[in-house]
Structure 1
């Protein structure tokens, strides 16, 4: 059973390596809706312990949206990462890489009670289990794809090979009453036109927002996912028409262009207005 989310969703999520405290501090003071402090792929093995200590130091009093990406349970750093996160403010979320089974999620949720878990699905097995992962614990706050690893696992090199997996995770999130997934980071930091085009394709599939690996990507992502002025005007018209019709006891409702309306369109219109409120 699903419910509707009309909260202001985060559109821009910026990754920063935990072993670069200067970059983390700059990101925390920047414009990203969420700062993602990475203990995993962005940090070399020899620097893991120091990176964790820096993350704790920088985030112990943070008062803005932040998530920390942990190392996988199969690594020697996972236990220390979890222990460190348990000491951080409760609003600091956990970005969980390479999730494949509901048991992995429920075990982590038990060790970090009350803390939001943001799951990254990065393998074919994870994609197959997407809905079960989304419902594995009450503290699962989102699911998304980690597309670099997923491309390797699926042995695909173009976006075409990811189309089914992308649709699968969008459907699983919706079925589990979670917000729409954010897109995986676009790796070509200088190709802003390609980023905009990729975001538009993701938006058509049902994604909302995107992770970034460079601050220059943030304005492009935000613009791509914010509704246009025309979309906002139409959404307001839908809300007004349906509300007026309900008050008047009228069943059939149509816009000026002849489009007939129903409750599902009202829900979508409210989602558009919630997005517009992030501008």
Structure 2
């Protein structure tokens, strides 16, 4: 993966919940279905991914001949496992750096559609109101997921809190921190735990979806905020490589890139907590 530096602006048991609005399809052929309504079983993080998909299901899918069976996952591992094993037709929860890392590490035969939305990464604190007040030796909570850990470190670099060794095309980790004048102490944590353990850190850098699920607003509650401009971390729909041209999946991606979905995103998250990527 090529390193990308952004300006300022997981391995746990998953809890899987099929959304109540989903039911049996009129056509039980799945993503490769034949005539009639085509059902697509798609895994997603609860916020905002499943919410965006539910809007598509409620407002757009039927006219396109689709029915979405939305399955929620609260971790970042199982949606790809389920897709690889054929339990899902698609998933919608990840960005390109994470996708590429998982494909390389686990040998998945996946492909993906273009980015749909961006959840700005941000840093939060229960103990300080200004990043300038971050104490020497402060505890910094960061994800234990390498691709997103690099994203967290980028925020600290842009705030002039640390520098990083040149890692070439590899994503840096906390082991690559070079200058650290405040002697900050990095604590790797499962990303979904960070919002719930905010009081344990002087600063916690949190994935956008987990922040939203934890009641945090990236725009109004954060001390450091990633910019959406030229952001390489847009989330997209991933599929098995052989299904990239499946007509139903292509239709779904077209709906996710429609003017209606863009309006839904900007209306539901008017402060920029979630940004359209198209």
TM above 0.5, one fold?
A: no
Please identify which structure carries the higher strand content.
2
Please identify which structure carries the higher helix content.
1
TM-score, structure 1 normalization: 0.28
TM-score, structure 2 normalization: 0.28
